[in-house]
Amino acid sequence: MRSIVALLVLVSPLAADTSGRRWAEPGPVRIAILYSRGVEPGSAPRLRAMKATVTIVTPDGLKQALKKTDLLFLTSEWACGAERQAVAQSRAEVEAFLRRGGAIYVSQPNIDAKITDLPLAFEVVNGYDTQDRGIAIDAKLFSGLEEVELPFPADRIVKYDAAFTVAAKGSSSGSPSVLLGHWKGGKILVNTDNDNVSDIKQFAVKTSHTSDRCLKKLIEWLAGHPLPK
């Protein structure tokens, strides 16, 4: 009888670890930002201010980074260069990462493109309506935020996988600006706004932008829990 009890104690934690999210408990989130342009992206200090552990990963280090991170962050213009190629070449590792409960934050591709490099596909047109404002569809996700803090379609999404749901859209274009998706135990979030801009005064286009408060809510959705205060 004693040996049976001991076996159950040993097996149970392993089963729980592989069936749920690796990082379901509140605490710091390990974020790997895929970036190849030499200087630190503007999203990095924003994420560190949320007490996330941030690592800048070059394309040749992506496969290894996916083994020890919680969240892969693709910055604005990621689809225009080496980052997209790295994601495509690491498709098997990306899928394994999501199956383990990992999450991916996808910023604006900033190019006319059919994005098929990720398990959930979408298509964007690089060109925005200057009259657009961010409109929340998922009121719970964006609770407490002002309209000016919400993402707008800097890239207009014209098609998207049925596994995605629309959380926000442009007020005049009607194009989705935030997509939320689940895939094989992991999560994928698409935000077609610029991840580097936290204040519209910093930018030539005086329209909505993803504020720090909004970005934090999006990261918390991916994490499945509040970030540390």
Residue 53 has pLDDT above 70, yes or no: yes
Let me know: does 214 contact 150? Beta carbons within 8 Å: yes
Domain presence at residue 111: yes
Domain presence at residue 4: no
Domain presence at residue 5: no
Residue 2 has pLDDT above 60, yes or no: no
The Cα 43–Cα 37 span in angstroms is 13
| Mean pLDDT to the nearest integer, 163-179 | 96
Domain presence at residue 14: no
Residue 20 has pLDDT above 50, yes or no: no
pLDDT of residue 124: 96
Domain presence at residue 154: yes
pLDDT of residue 204: 56
Least confident of 36-40, 42-46, 198-202: 198-202
Domain presence at residue 11: no
Q: Which of 115, 110, 91 is nearest to 164 (CA)?
A: 115
Domain presence at residue 130: yes
Domain presence at residue 123: yes
| Mean pLDDT to the nearest integer, 64-88 | 96
Strand pairing class (103-106; 71-74): parallel
Number of continuous H segments (helices) and E segments (strands) in the chain: 6, 11
User: Which domain CATH number covers 207?
Assistant: 3.40.50.880
How many domains in the chain?
1
| Mean pLDDT to the nearest integer, 86-91 | 98
Q: What is the dihedral of CA 23, 24, 26, 28, to 10 degrees?
A: 20
High-pLDDT (> 90) share of the chain, %: 70
Identify the domain containing residue 81 by its residue range.
26-223
